[in-house]
Amino acid sequence: MTSNSSVVPAPSPEDERALLDSIPTGLLIDGVWRESSDGGTLDVNDPSTGQLLLTIASATPSDGAAALDAAARVQPSWAATAPRVRSEILRKAFELVTARAEDFALLMTLEMGKPLAESRAEVAYGAEFLRWFSEETNRIGGRYTTAPDGNSRLLVTKRPVGPSLLITPWNFPLAMATRKIGPAIAAGCTVILKPATLTPLSALLFAQVLNEAGVPAGVVNVIQTAHAGAVTGPLISDSRLRKLSFTGSTEVGQRLIAQSAEQVLRVSMELGGNAPLIVFDDADIDLAVSGTLQAKLRNGGEACTAANRILVQSGVAEKFTAQLIERMREQTVGRGTLPESAVGPLVDEDSRAKVEELVAATLDSGANLALGGHRIDGPGYFYQPTILTDVPADARILHEEIFGPVAPITVFDTEEEAIRLANDTEFGLVSYVFTTDLNRGLRLAEQLESGMVGLNTGIISNPAAPFGGVKHSGIGREGGLEGIEEYLETRYIGIGDPARQTA
């Protein structure tokens, strides 16, 4: 990430208001935008000012039940549509999101805070799931084989798992929705989306776009709510729901897995991370510093893939640290709509207070403050890009998700030590390795306990690749050839040997 040098002028307050006034504020149930059944609402605020953006409907348990009624009712007819029909709808949705990329980007920046350049990148990334799964729709496969004993034939087919509940977090308001809805639609599943309370607006605009793209009534329902557990609990207990796909914290994910056990619900879980980023003596240091900036500061550090622990080999520790301090010092912190902003606010005061407390605890444990370390006064929830050095191995910050622009650096001596430190966590989403020794890179890739490894790169998310973690970071994969499988069931049909059947 570099300081934003875009020449595009900042949107005016009138542009912002006009966009906000065009966003649907209801619940989307059975193809109709409705108020909440009890008239309840929730406020969506701008984290860079703390000001109200929009008041929208907040679903009740009975709204949730209505959404499941619709999803269950249309599931059979939706599953029976030709793959090409679903494919064309997804393709159209990709084109409509791309055509409205600036609206999506501004809306996301307003509700979540990230700089516009990053919001634009998320729109492109998020839209790509629609195009990718539009293409995958037509490639849902199966097989027909002869049993080993030659006495029968084995026919294996795929079918949609059925009505799916999709719960998404606030940090990637559009991409987390498209990464689930894309494959679900491709597979022939109907869905109920529950976006995060802090950032539901991008999902509401996306739902409007899906309607325009031709998604039939009831196939996609959206039930934002201020009462997440009370609304989703009864859905998870309802035998008509066949799938839960969740992205969010490990703590909530564990609770939802336990709830899902009752109905033996299929689950996909994209949970928290605690990514190590390892820089070896033989690394290209400029590349390693740029990669660290991307892996640390993208989304203001509020990403499951954020580099949480920077492990640097002793021979380059001084040089790497000096360069990282220099580059992080250059980053302009400010409202995401301003062209010069490279780092936006944290999403709310609780998040900022947690980062603040974690930094204080790390300094108490004996670490040094090399850069930043303070909240920025004024409206909004801004926090300085921060570097901590000499962080002791048992410091809490190395074992929890930071979710802020804070880089703790630990120095190691040997490759074995780096692997041991990197794997010393209950999480296992992604690891980053910087080295010019290919053998070393591949050795590390085989030994690191994570679902994904970035080799000489600080960004690995790609719609064509399987995203997901091991250990407490989750179950299942999103994107790639694997992503659609999360929404498909395998059916096996045994067939008597046709050669032995008489005419």
List binders of ligand NAP among 133-172 (CB under 6 A): 167-172
* Complex with ligand NAP: residue 87 or 232, whichever CB lies closer: 232
Q: State which residue, 184 or 371, has the beta carbon closest to ligand NAP.
A: 184
Alpha-carbon gap, residue 321 to 296, rounded angstroms: 14
CA angle 7/12/14 to nearest 5° reads 155
Compute the least distance from the CB of residue 8 to ligand NAP, in Å: 27
- 470 touches ligand NAP (CB under 6 A): no
Report the residue from 3, 81, 157, 197 that binds ligand NAP according to the rule CB under 6 A: 197
Binding mask 267-286 for ligand NAP (x = CB under 6 A): ---xxxx-------------
Q: Which of 247, 260, 341, 384 binds ligand NAP (CB under 6 A)?
A: 247
Among 76, 142, 229, 366, the residue binding ligand NAP under the rule CB under 6 A is 229
Q: Are 381 and 348 in contact (CB under 8 A)?
A: yes
- Give which of 196, 193, 191 is closest to 169, Cα–Cα: 196
Of positions 118, 401, 485, 486, contacts ligand NAP by CB under 6 A: 401
Residues 105/120, Cβ–Cβ less than 8 Å: yes
Among the residues of 82-174, which ranges form H helices?
A: 83-99, 101-112, 116-136
Q: Does residue number 206 form part of the binding site for ligand NAP (CB under 6 A)? A: no
Please answer whether residues 158 and 488 qualify as being in contact, where contact means their C-beta atoms are separated by less than 8 angstroms: yes
Query: How far is C-alpha 22 from the chain's CA centre?
Result: 26
79 makes contact with ligand NAP (CB under 6 A): no
Minimum distance from residue 68 beta carbon to ligand NAP (Å): 14
8 A C-beta contact, residue 270 and residue 304: yes
Q: Which of residues 472-501 bind ligand NAP (CB under 6 A)?
A: 474
Q: Which is nearer to ligand NAP, 225 or 341 (CB)?
A: 225
The yes or no reply on residue 385 touching ligand NAP (CB under 6 A) is no
The one segment of 59-67, 133-141, 224-232, 329-337 that binds ligand NAP by CB under 6 A? 224-232
- Contact indicator for 282, 436 with CB cutoff of 8 Å: yes
Q: Find the shortest distance in angstroms from Cβ 15 to ligand NAP.
A: 27
Rounded Cα distance between 262 and 300, Å, is 38
Among 3, 41, 49, 249, binds ligand NAP (CB under 6 A): 249
Angle (nearest 5°) at CA 352 between 349 and 356: 135
**Which phi and psi angles does 58 have, rounded to 5°?**
-120, 120
Question: Is 270 among the residues known to form the active site?
Answer: yes
In 3-state terms the chain splits into helix, strand, coil percentages (rounded to 5) of 40, 20, 35
Q: How far is the CB of 191 from ligand NAP (least distance, A)?
A: 14
Residue in 111, 128, 270, 302 annotated catalytic: 270
DSSP-derived letter for residue 461 is: -
Buried b (16+ CB within 10 A) or exposed e, 221-246: bbbbbebbeebbbebbebeebbbbbb
Q: Which of 64, 248, 479, 480 binds ligand NAP (CB under 6 A)?
A: 248
Identify which of residues 267 and 317 has a Cβ nearer to ligand NAP in the complex.
267
- Residue 405 sits in the site that holds ligand NAP (CB under 6 A): no
From 304, 356, 401, 486, active-site residue: 304
Give which of 55, 28, 59 is closest to 42, Cα–Cα. Answer: 55
Q: Among the candidate windows 79-87, 266-274, 324-332, 384-392, which touches ligand NAP by CB under 6 A?
A: 266-274
Q: How far is the CB of 145 from ligand NAP (least distance, A)?
A: 35
- Rounded distance, CA 496 to CA 48, Å? 67
Distance, in Å, from the CA atom of 259 to the CA atom of 264, rounded to the nearest integer, reads: 9
DSSP assignment, residue 477?
-
A 10 A CB-CB count for 189 gives 28
Closest distance to ligand NAP from the beta carbon of 67 (Å): 14
Residues 272 and 429: beta-carbon distance below 8 Å: yes
Q: Which of 196, 201, 213, 343 binds ligand NAP (CB under 6 A)?
A: 196
Site for ligand NAP in 288-317 (CB under 6 A): 304
Q: Is residue 482 annotated as a catalytic residue, yes or no?
A: no
228 binds ligand NAP (CB under 6 A): yes
Residue nearest to ligand NAP (CB): 248
- Total binding residues for ligand NAP by CB under 6 A? 27
Structural contact between residues 58 and 40, judged by C-beta atoms closer than 8 angstroms: yes
Under a CB-based contact definition with an 8 Å cutoff, are residues 269 and 468 in contact? Answer: no
- Binding flag, residue 252, ligand NAP (CB under 6 A): yes
Q: 252 or 459: whose CB is closer to ligand NAP?
A: 252
Which of 159, 178, 174, 172 lies closest to 245 in space, CA to CA?
Answer: 178
Q: Which residues in this chain contact ligand NAP in the complex, by CB under 6 A?
A: 167-172, 194, 196-198, 228-229, 232, 247-249, 252, 255, 270-273, 304, 401, 429, 469, 474
Active site residues: 270, 304
